Structure 1
Amino acid sequence: MKNVKFLLSAACTFFAVAAMAQQDFSGPQYAKWGDTPEEREKNILNSNFLKESYENRNYDAAAHYLKELLNSCPDASVAIYQRGANTYKQKINRAKSVAEKNVFIDSLMLIYDLRAKYFGDDPKQGLAFILDQKAREYLTYKPNDRAGIRKAFREAIEAGGANADLETVVAYFSNLCDDYKNTDEVMPDEIIAEYDRLLPFFENNPSAAELKNQLDAAFGLSGAASCDNLEKLFSNKLAAAPDDEALLAQAVSLMGRAKCNSDFYLATAEKYYAIKPSAEAAMSLASAFQNKGDFTKALNYLNEALAVEKDDMERQKLLLHISLVALINKDYTNAASSARQARDLNPEDGAPYFVLGQCYAASASACGGFAGQATFWAAYDAMAKAIELLPGDSEYVEPAKASLANYRANFPNTEECFFNELQSGARYTVTCGTAAGVVTTVRPR
């Protein structure tokens, strides 16, 4: 069957040659194939022979015709380069020695370089496309040439500009991070600088969330983005340019993402916030001060963010955050007030009820007597509502369930309800603490 296919191909080629012998190649449409009609005829024939040789898996012959075409008419047709690249990939796979394989790989890279030279201005598959393909092939065939891989990917991304292929961007940065971890060729400041440079590609393409996650994962796993490395890098830069707004923004963004809470980070973030206040910056500062246990400053920045935030969804998140920080700070009045506001903005969120339950229970001891015991009814109601609304995997679910048993154990008993002229199932309005005014139900323990 193989011989039959070869004979048919040879016959087709013979008839093609015979037909071409009758053509006039002096017209301007053939100019790209050579200076004279004779050259043009020869080169067009060689192009046909290249196609036939490749399709018949005669890759040595295909390589021969490719060489002839590249020497005589390198700008005649992009198909020459497409078939040439495929030819050399097959030869690479069939190489009989490492040395021979390396020669074929170099030839493949040369084909991409020549295609970029002569067809880099192609409107559909121009320089960016060609260099992108070259970078991917370089990674495949020369995995140990780490510097060469980085260079090839950088050239591809630069050629793509704002429209660079995001998979290529991720591949480049992932390899850069691997080189940082496995070699001494890449320093941490290069990883940090490249991450900051590449991030806008993804921020301008919100549909590429998964690729953005891959970029972030590579950055995080590299170890370059440690707080120590970031502080060392930016302390020197900011010492030289302490009022550089762009540099301050970069430092705050990267160190905030790394969850740094050193004095240097906080001083830098507060300086940037003074220059360019925003809800996002305030949130970042609040989280940092919260991690350091400075709840007063954390609440100050959260309230500043709340003061400028107009979107109800974002306000609800801020109010919930304020309530949680205030709760940790044992500021139960502020915590309850913020939790109620968060609840009113989104009654289907269980977290505000979780905070309210704890606030009610915490203030019960300050009430004393029966009024304090009765406050646990309101605490129980709020926590039961939290369990009803919280998703099953919420970090608050198990603590909420444990709280229910504790609150029930603090309910007034039947005798105490009797002496206060209250019957089971009756309505009761809490009279003290953060739950004052809340209507609940009498339930003796």
Structure 2
Amino acid sequence: MNTRNLFVTVALLFSAGSVYAQTGAQTNTPFGSGEDSIRCRQNISLFSTHARSGNFQEAYDFWLKAYEECPASTKNIYIYGVRIAEWRLQNEQDPAKRQEALDMLLKLYDDRAKYFGDDPKYGLDFIMASKVSDYMRYMGDQTDYNKIYSWIKPAIDQYGQNATPRALFYLGYSSLNKAIKDEAWHDNYVKDYTYVTEALDKQLATADDAAKEEIQPLKTQTDELFALSGLADCETLVRMYGDKLEANKTDTTFLKNMLGMFHASDCENHSLYFQASKYLFAVQPSATAAMGLAKEAMESNRYDEASKYLQQAISLSKSARDRAACNYTLGLLEMRQGRYASARTYCNKALAEDASMGDALILIAQMYAATANSIFPGDAIKARCVYYLAVDKLQRAKTIDPSCAPRANRLIGQYSRNFPSPADVFMHPDLEKGKSLYIGGWIGESTVIR
């Protein structure tokens, strides 16, 4: 055989061997072919065994070979790969190597999306949400929200409002953080927020109890972040909902979402809020709508009508906090009309629903102080003792609700100046420091002489 024929023969043999031994990465197949296919399966088996038992050090070399040579073979490459990358991050002290491990972790998610992004259960939206979660966990204050938005937005575009709740949340959250740093992004954030909250509302409407436990906290947090962002002013809300209200006046999801946002942003005095409340109450009587209608009636001093709506709100509400707020408002209405005993009854009902409602005790204290002279009309010294009781209520209000302490302290300072002087107490035949005094009239409670 001459040299030329020998060369051709060797080349053909080499080519034939390549056909029978090629990696999955080279052939764009899950396992590759020939010996490479066998080695791929062996590496998968070996790294899976070690990784399942938490022995990531032993698993690493086998896993890396499988990842490099047959990345489309099994999702386990990426499921265990994330754990291996996290193991490296937790055990690596060198900043450069930690960054290398983080880069590998993020690339794992990109490659999983490339090879398994069409998985019917754990598709692109799930994968990108997981990537965002890990990225934020390791980056902390250095998180780049432009990156997060660029990762999550294509998944939302692909899956629409059927995307996973966590992916939807991250879209809104990253958009908010972009808006905080860039005023030009504000309108985009409002659009993203509206899209996310509508999607989560729709998912909640058809979710089972287990799914609701995941969706509802994300929905609540999305709304709270919007309300606290400073971007949710009344003008913005009117621009968001104003043109859509008439077209959606029978859409309970739209109306509840709108009313919730106006409430969270302290825009309940706007005429649009009242109109939405009327539409919702007509379609589906609810506590939220009844409270909105009550507020409108109060603004116009239609107290009887306001009281009727508040009573309906109490009967419809499943929230103890909302029932407490309604009872407290009924107390305010009764106080404005001089019906103090009834007002106190409603305040006590509010406290029964929400034991930390300091405002209810403050209102009772104010009513006690306002009627002090009528309790002991012929005894100015005893009348001033009513302020002891008012201050008792204010002290309790501070204890159960620290947020109302500034208000309570201001009133305590004001009312304490009306206490009888030590000389007044000493000279009065019915009073003695440290002894109990019954305050009659509509109050009917006892206090201690200071």
TM-score, normalised by the number of residues in structure 1: 0.61
> What secondary structure does 1:370 align onto?
coil
Counterpart Cα distance in 2 of 1:94 and 1:405: 65
Distance 1:363 1:412, change over 3 A: farther
Deviation, 1:277, is 2.5
Counterpart Cα distance in 1 of 2:277 and 2:107: 50
Distance 1:271 1:144, change over 3 A: closer
Counterpart Cα distance in 2 of 1:222 and 1:310: 28
After TM superposition, the structure 1 stretch with the greater mean CA deviation from structure 2, 295-304 or 221-230, is 295-304
Letter of the 1:190 counterpart:
D
> What secondary structure does 1:77 align onto?
coil
After TM superposition, the structure 1 stretch with the greater mean CA deviation from structure 2, 310-319 or 41-50, is 310-319
Residue among 300, 321, 327 paired with 1:319: 327
- The reply on whether 1:264 has 2:272 as its aligned counterpart is yes
Contact 1:306/1:315 (CA < 8 Å) preserved in 2? yes
Q: What residue in structure 2 maps to residue 45 of structure 1?
A: 39
Deviation, 1:217, is 4.6
Letter of the 2:413 counterpart:
A
Contact 1:248/1:272 (CA < 8 Å) preserved in 2? yes
Instruction: Give a deviation string over 1:110-144, Cα, whole Å, max 9, x none.
Output: 44321335xx258xx67665454455689889965
Which stretches in structure 1 are left out of the alignment for 5+ residues? 1-30, 96-101
Contact 1:378/1:440 (CA < 8 Å) preserved in 2? no
Distance 1:423 1:276, change over 3 A: same
- The reply on whether 1:195 has 2:197 as its aligned counterpart is yes
> What secondary structure does 1:247 align onto?
helix
Q: What residue in structure 2 maps to residue 186 of structure 1?
A: 188
Q: What residue in structure 2 maps to residue 109 of structure 1?
A: 110
Residue among 325, 332, 341 paired with 2:338: 332
Q: What residue in structure 2 maps to residue 377 of structure 1?
A: 385
Letter of the 1:42 counterpart:
D
Deviation, 1:365, is 4.6
Contact 2:328/2:360 (CA < 8 Å) preserved in 1? yes
> What secondary structure does 2:232 align onto?
coil
Deviation, 1:236, is 0.9
- The reply on whether 1:397 has 2:408 as its aligned counterpart is yes
Q: What residue in structure 2 maps to residue 359 of structure 1?
A: 367
> What secondary structure does 1:332 align onto?
coil
> What secondary structure does 1:186 align onto?
helix
Q: What residue in structure 2 maps to residue 254 of structure 1?
A: 261
> What secondary structure does 1:44 align onto?
helix
Query: How many correspondences in the alignment?
Result: 377
Deviation, 1:288, is 6.8
Task: Indicate the percent of aligned positions where both proteins have the same amino acid.
Answer: 18
Map of 1:421-440 to 2, 5 A cutoff?
430=440, 434-435=442-443, 438=444
Which stretches in structure 2 are left out of the alignment for 5+ residues? 1-28, 48-56, 89-94, 98-102
After TM superposition, the structure 1 stretch with the greater mean CA deviation from structure 2, 199-208 or 188-197, is 199-208
- The reply on whether 1:78 has 2:78 as its aligned counterpart is no
TM-score, normalised by the number of residues in structure 2: 0.61
> What secondary structure does 1:277 align onto?
coil
Deviation, 1:298, is 5.1
Distance 1:208 1:225, change over 3 A: same
Letter of the 1:332 counterpart:
G
Counterpart Cα distance in 2 of 1:178 and 1:364: 53
Deviation, 1:359, is 1.7
Deviation, 1:269, is 1.8
Contact 2:274/2:296 (CA < 8 Å) preserved in 1? yes
CA RMSD of aligned residues (A): 5.4
Distance 1:244 1:172, change over 3 A: closer
Q: What residue in structure 2 maps to residue 151 of structure 1?
A: 153
Letter of the 2:364 counterpart:
L
Deviation, 1:340, is 3.2
After TM superposition, the structure 1 stretch with the greater mean CA deviation from structure 2, 229-238 or 43-52, is 43-52
> What secondary structure does 1:173 align onto?
helix
Counterpart Cα distance in 2 of 1:441 and 1:155: 66
Contact 1:131/1:152 (CA < 8 Å) preserved in 2? no
